[in-house]
Amino acid sequence: MVAAAAMTISALLIGPTTALAAAPAPAPAATPPATSSTASPATAPTTGATTPTRARSTTIAAPPKRRPTGSAPCGGKLTYGKVETCASIVGAQENAWTFTTTVDSDTLLARLNSVSGSGVGARVTDRDGGFTCHVGAYLNECRLGPAGTYTLTVTTTYGTGEGSYTLSVESMRTPSECDTLPEPFFSFASAGVSGTLPAGLAARCFKFDQPTGTRLHLADPSGTGDVQASILDGRYEPLGCPIRYTTECTLTEPGPYRLFLHESYGNEAAYTLRMPRLSQAVGCPTVPLAPFGDPGAAVGQGSVAAPEEVACHSLTTDAAGAVVVRFNRYQDQYLSWGVYDATGQRICDEYSSARHCFLPAAGTYILLVQNRNDVGNAVDYQVAVTALHRIDGCVPATGTSWETAALVVHQTSPVQTNCQPFHAEAGDRIITYTAPDRYNEAAAWLVDADGTVLCTEWSEQDGCVVPATGTYRVVSYLANWDDDSTDLTYKMQVRRLSDAVGCPTVTPGAYGTGPAGGLGGIRCRTLDVATAGTYRLHAVGDDNYERYGRVYDQAGLRVCGTGRCEIPAAGRYTLVLGDRGTGEVIDNDVRHAVALLPWAPSNCTPVSDNGWRDAPHRGTFPAAGQVNCLQLASPAGSRIVQSQPGDTTFDASPEITIVDATGEYLCDYSSLRQYTCELTGEAPFHAVLTGPEGSPVSAYTMAFSRVDGPPACAVLPRGDTGATATTGADRFVACWSVPADEHAARESFTWTRTSGTGDARLSVIDSRGIRYCGPTGHAVERTVTCTLPAGPVTVLLESDAVDATYRLTHRDAATPTS
């Protein structure tokens, strides 16, 4: 039925020489009311919705009284604009109705609705009996020939059964009546024209005149999409302006204009016709241009009560330029808006011009606001429009040095726009950081002295290069505003990335010593590098948590990030801390430490790879940000593990990375403690250590053991005797070997603490350095069964660094215990 209705609309727009073919009969129509009703001004406008699901009227007319068999058929004279009802048409009966047109080439609008029983159809013939058109369900458009009398003959669809129907016709050129839409109707302040279309009515005519080229805003007359029309020009030709859903229309041909309003299914329907004029619009309250900062009284207010309903505001600018249109974000979620010039052409909207709208000339413009709330709730809103070429309300200028304290920006209105001037030289690369003090979203961008928006295209580089020397401004605002808000604040930093000034200087340091300068404020550092190369850049806060950042050259172009940094040439570079882009402000009272070190470690403390036998290594981090390194004794191709006391706390567990002589990564804590680490690449190899997060000052104890090749540890006897290990502060790793012929494919190992305190865990590693069993969980005593490869294996028992003794035994897992 929707498709059939669409076909009818098409026919009404195109105006065929013959009527549409009969379509499937619609649902039974409501009981026909009086044959006409007079349109009257509405007390309140009714606007349309986005394309809805069309629903027919559920009101079913009572079946007409049954005409006795053999009674005279319906028929007679048809009067334009009147609904005729036939209570019964039976079998092969033909109901002949006549109508007269007084003009040549008239167009007949005909509606034949089947009310009950068998479906019906009709044909129109001229005075000589010549076929003119078919009449089916929905609204039909039939192009007539010479003036005169025509016959419309109704039959049942298949010539059988019995049904009832309503019939209505209207003349397009000489309608029964055609209400005039006066000039005030086209104001945005007009409530429109309201009325009711009776059930079964073909169409209702309205006429109006406007200058050619006028642009109208068309709204859904019924709110359901079922009442529709098309605007016809002075030649009765459609203009391609369907009146059904919310849209816009230009009167491209001369008038006077007519439209024939009808209900798609012939149901009774209330309507409100509204067509405010977008070109040379009237009835829109003025919203004055607001200053920067709190807009005060320069705020427009309005309400859009239903989906697709519109409101408008008039705004005037004294010069071409960009403006900021501000709605509160919560309200903006349910609104769409556009700005129109005096001809009714859309200049910009919220999607194409989210931050600013460029007005091409001085003059008056219309801001159109539309309700997009699908659930049908009214939206009350405030709006402010601020011209970017004006400077009233801007705060005093700020500097671009990095040592300048962050600015605190106040927002006391939901539609406020702020302005922060600064001076820059031609070619400066400027970056702006903004961060709300509580959950919100801050927007900020740069404009020049004329209000021209800069750097509108996306770039891989950070910041914005200004084209000339002069005063520039940061335009910013907070997007969200709660009802209980009175004064929201956000911080802002306006900084120069190129030739940055105000940053403390850092030079390359050495492993095992604290960062030069220690902890200090200001979010940037000048890196003074005498030699190109690869550097390790380690930055932490005063809590020793790692802080990420970016490094820029003197032109303000990005070079690298923290961690591994390739410095292309000797010179000065700028490190800026912050890993959330321009949405993070790090003020001068936030302290940091920055270590700049050669990527390949040097002058590192040597450590044994017989940690099960030799004393462990002990080290400290006396300051936040320090990086230590250890030189490992094992050669290339070997495998190592790292051990630390089982009772070690997080504060005593540094981050550890194993690298080769060139500083290339090999493995980390996970491999060293859970698997084994293979030393590949160029020797010597190093362990690079950084302090645990949250502990600026800490100490640690660790040991390394080489585990590949023939086991170097004492043999662990098989059987119940086993071996005993003594542990303490300097002895928390015990090692044994099990020869190939002393273990089965599945072997059970048992350890038991025989004195002291603490607990231990166990690992079994083959001669290639592959960990086959463990590390197990820590326990005072435990038996574990391992599947072992052929060949000798190494057994490591790692304990707490406390005085204790443990007995360790092993046996074939298939051998029953005694």
Render pLDDT for 189-198 as a digit per residue (tens, 0 to 9): 999 999 999 9
Quick one: average pLDDT of 511-528? 93
Buried residues in 428-460 as b, exposed as e (16+ CB within 10 A): bbbbbbbbbeeebebebbbbbeebbbeeeeeee
Quick one: average pLDDT of 235-263? 95
Q: Is residue 256 reached through a cis peptide bond, with omega within 30 degrees of 0 on the bond before it?
A: yes
Evaluate whether 372 touches 396 at the Cβ level (below 8 Å). no
The closest alpha carbon to 399, from 436, 428, 427, belongs to 428
The closest alpha carbon to 704, from 783, 621, 641, belongs to 641
Buried residues in 166-181 as b, exposed as e (16+ CB within 10 A): bbbbbbbbebbebbeb
207 — pLDDT class (breaks 50, 70, 90): very high
Quick one: average pLDDT of 414-429? 97
Residue in the structure block whose two tokens are 């009146």: 243
Quick one: average pLDDT of 52-77? 51
Q: Which two tokens stand for residue 223?
A: 């709110």
To the nearest whole percent, how much of the chain has pLDDT over 90?
81
Quick one: average pLDDT of 366-380? 83
Residue in the structure block whose two tokens are 């609008």: 109
Quick one: average pLDDT of 200-227? 95
Quick one: average pLDDT of 684-699? 95
Quick one: average pLDDT of 726-732? 94
- Return the number of other C-beta atoms located less than 10 Å from residue 816's C-beta: 6
Q: How open is the CA angle 623-625-629, to the nearest 5 degrees?
A: 95
588 — pLDDT class (breaks 50, 70, 90): very high
Give the CA distances from residue 28 to residues 31, 61, 204, 217, in Å, rounded to whole numbers and listed in that order.
Answer: 9, 7, 21, 34
Residue 661 or 71, more confident: 661
Report pLDDT for 1: 32
Least confident of 464-468, 508-512, 539-543, 710-714: 710-714
Report pLDDT for 71: 56
Least confident of 302-311, 324-333, 767-776: 324-333
Report pLDDT for 788: 94
Cα 355 from Cα 339, distance rounded (Å): 13
Quick one: average pLDDT of 95-120? 96
334 — pLDDT class (breaks 50, 70, 90): confident
Residue 47 has pLDDT above 60, yes or no: no
19 — pLDDT class (breaks 50, 70, 90): very low
Report pLDDT for 557: 97
Evaluate whether 350 touches 386 at the Cβ level (below 8 Å). no
Residue 38 has pLDDT above 70, yes or no: no
Q: Give, as one character, the DSSP assignment of residue 514.
A: P
Residue 52 has pLDDT above 80, yes or no: no
Report pLDDT for 691: 95
Q: Is residue 775 reached through a cis peptide bond, with omega within 30 degrees of 0 on the bond before it?
A: yes
Evaluate whether 1 touches 9 at the Cβ level (below 8 Å). no
Report pLDDT for 517: 83
Cα 124 from Cα 108, distance rounded (Å): 10
Residue 501 has pLDDT above 90, yes or no: yes
Cα 532 from Cα 598, distance rounded (Å): 10
Quick one: average pLDDT of 611-637? 95
Report pLDDT for 332: 62
815 — pLDDT class (breaks 50, 70, 90): confident
The closest alpha carbon to 332, from 382, 388, 367, 385, belongs to 382
Quick one: average pLDDT of 718-722? 90
Q: Which domains does the chain have, with CATH numbers?
A: 2-36+76-171 (2.60.120.380), 178-273 (2.60.120.380), 284-480 (2.60.120.380), 505-594 (no CATH), 605-706 (2.60.120), 714-812 (2.60.120.380)
Report pLDDT for 553: 97
538 — pLDDT class (breaks 50, 70, 90): very high
Residue 796 has pLDDT above 90, yes or no: yes
The closest alpha carbon to 29, from 174, 226, 314, 204, belongs to 226
Evaluate whether 733 touches 797 at the Cβ level (below 8 Å). yes
Report pLDDT for 333: 74
Element (H, E) at 286: none
Residue 79 has pLDDT above 50, yes or no: yes
pTM: 0.79
Tell me the H-state helices in 480-619. Answer: none
* Residue-averaged pLDDT of the chain: 89
pLDDT digit string (tens) for 217-239? 999 999 888 999 999 999 999 99
Phi, psi of 132, rounded to the nearest 5 degrees:
-115, -50
Residue 56 or 395, more confident: 395
Beta-carbon contacts of 409 under 8 Å, excluding residues fewer than 6 positions away, are 418, 420, 434, 476, 489, 490, 491, 492
Report pLDDT for 541: 94
106 — pLDDT class (breaks 50, 70, 90): very high
The closest alpha carbon to 709, from 767, 650, 631, belongs to 767
Report pLDDT for 286: 96
| Residues comprising the chain, all counted | 818
Report pLDDT for 15: 34
Give the CA distances from residue 176 to residues 80, 153, 179, 776, in Å, rounded to whole numbers and listed in that order.
Answer: 5, 21, 10, 97
Report pLDDT for 48: 34
* Displacement of CA 711 from its chain's centroid (Å): 60
Evaluate whether 170 touches 260 at the Cβ level (below 8 Å). yes
Give the CA distances from residue 407 to residues 251, 400, 443, 556, 587, in Å, rounded to whole numbers and listed in that order.
Answer: 53, 11, 15, 22, 9
The radius of gyration of the chain from alpha carbons, rounded to an integer in Å, stands at 43
Share of the chain residues as helix, strand and coil, in percent rounded to the nearest 5:
5, 45, 50
Residue 307 has pLDDT above 50, yes or no: yes
